Structure 1
Amino acid sequence: MSYGKAVQEELRKRTHDLRQVIPAVYQGYRELHDATLAAGALDTKTKELIALAIGVSKECDGCIAAHARGAVLHGATPEEAAEAIGVTFLMNGGPGTVYGARAYAAFTEFYSAHGSGEAG
């Protein structure tokens, strides 16, 4: 099973439908997202890896897919993703190992595609 592109595709129509009903809420969230992930004291790659780890902690496949892709697009390596995911094991125990494996699968899926220009 894909935890990257397939998850994003599964959510695409549902998200679009809800966005049509509450566009201002989505616009506000987009602004928060962009401001939060903008480079500052931490670079965007690091922030994407933190978000990926939080996605694992929250057991959110959509978050995992989005931030795995974001981490790849900002230059994260599989080793960096694995270490960020490893921290979730400490903080979450067993559930971290399940969603951590999903997150690493999503990351490596986007990482592999990125070399062929398909991460977007």
Structure 2
Amino acid sequence: MGICIIFTMSDHNHYHDVLDELNPQHRSLRKMIPDVYRGFGEMSKAALTSGALDTKTKELIALTIGVVAGCDGCIASHAQGAVRAGASKEEAAEAIGVSILMHGGPATIYGARAYDAFCEFADAAVGSAAG
């Protein structure tokens, strides 16, 4: 069983930091296996492009899968993507609620993390638009 670390409000930019921490690791591995990363990037773009479901809905689905998988990097990436696609805090909370229904107790931990990540990126986006 893994160890859960709960982040406090003092970790205001935690999910920005998660992405910043992962970027050099991804760059390093991407240099070694560029075709894999290129293929993953193409698949990601294809999967998240609007079709019958819009990009916002798809990012919220990906966010909730990150909750169920317990993946902070996925949560950070798709929280940011959902904000960029125009999702509201209410939409994020409701989507996370479905992951709690489907995954139970562990989703209450990662669901709270996902909502915190979403709010962090949403608040930053509002701050950027105002400034």
Same fold at TM > 0.5: yes
- Name 2:22's counterpart in structure 1: 11
Q: Residue 72 of structure 1 aligns to which amino acid in structure 2?
A: V
Q: Residue 18 of structure 1 aligns to which amino acid in structure 2?
A: L
- Name 1:93's counterpart in structure 2: 104
Q: Name the % identity.
A: 58
Q: TM-score, normalised by structure 2?
A: 0.87
- Name 2:51's counterpart in structure 1: 40
Structure 2: gaps of 5 or more residues: 1-10
- Name 1:79's counterpart in structure 2: 90
Computing the radius of gyration from Cα coordinates, the structure with the larger value is 2
Q: Does 1:114 align with 2:125?
A: yes
C-alpha separation in 1, matches of 2:45 and 2:14: 23
Contact 1:3 1:105 in 2 (8 A): no
Q: Does 1:67 align with 2:78?
A: yes
C-alpha separation in 2, matches of 1:103 and 1:40: 25
C-alpha separation in 2, matches of 1:59 and 1:12: 19
Q: How many residues align?
A: 118
Structure 1: gaps of 5 or more residues: none
Q: TM-score, normalised by structure 1?
A: 0.95
Q: Provide Cα deviations, 1:48-86, integer angstroms capped at 9, x if missing partner.
A: 000000000000000000000000001000000000000
CA drift at 1:116: 2.1
Runs of 4+ in 1 over 2 A off after TM superposition: none
Q: Does 1:24 align with 2:30?
A: no
Q: Residue 111 of structure 2 aligns to which amino acid in structure 1?
A: G
Determine helix, strand or coil for the equivalent of 2:128: coil
Contact 1:52 1:103 in 2 (8 A): yes
C-alpha separation in 2, matches of 1:10 and 1:103: 17
